[in-house]
Amino acid sequence: MIATAHRMRDCSVLLDDRRARGVALRAYGLRVKGSAGLLVAAKRSGFVPEVRPLLEHLVRNGYFLSRRLIDRATAEAGEEL
């Protein structure tokens, strides 16, 4: 995915893995967005009503997101903590 994004030029890549994000940013200079950032953007565009329930659903189903990241994304989305 990183190599494809690099070849396409001027695009963002969706990555949650910390190591992969670092490689994409530092080695290739790509713009990186994770699942939480994607959901915040979706809320700002009116595609989803709330971010927190979606992030918590991901966690309940085995996806790792730190409480700190969930709180930060919720705040960026303009939702109360």
Residue 12 has φ and ψ, to the nearest 5°, of -105, 160
Confidence (pTM): 0.82
Confidence of residue 19 (pLDDT cuts 50, 70, 90): very high
Smallest CA-to-CA distance from 80 within 39, 52, 49, 44 is with: 52
pLDDT in tens, 46-65: 999 999 999 999 999 999 99
Query: What pLDDT is recorded for position 48?
Result: 97
Confidence of residue 70 (pLDDT cuts 50, 70, 90): very high
Residue 54 has φ and ψ, to the nearest 5°, of -70, -40
> What is the Cα 17 distance to its own chain's centre?
10
Tokens describing residue 72:
């930060």
3-state secondary structure of 46: coil
Counted residue by residue, the chain has a size of 81
- Domain boundaries defined on the chain: 1-33, 35-81
Smallest CA-to-CA distance from 24 within 42, 44, 8, 43 is with: 8
Mean pLDDT value of segment 13-18: 91
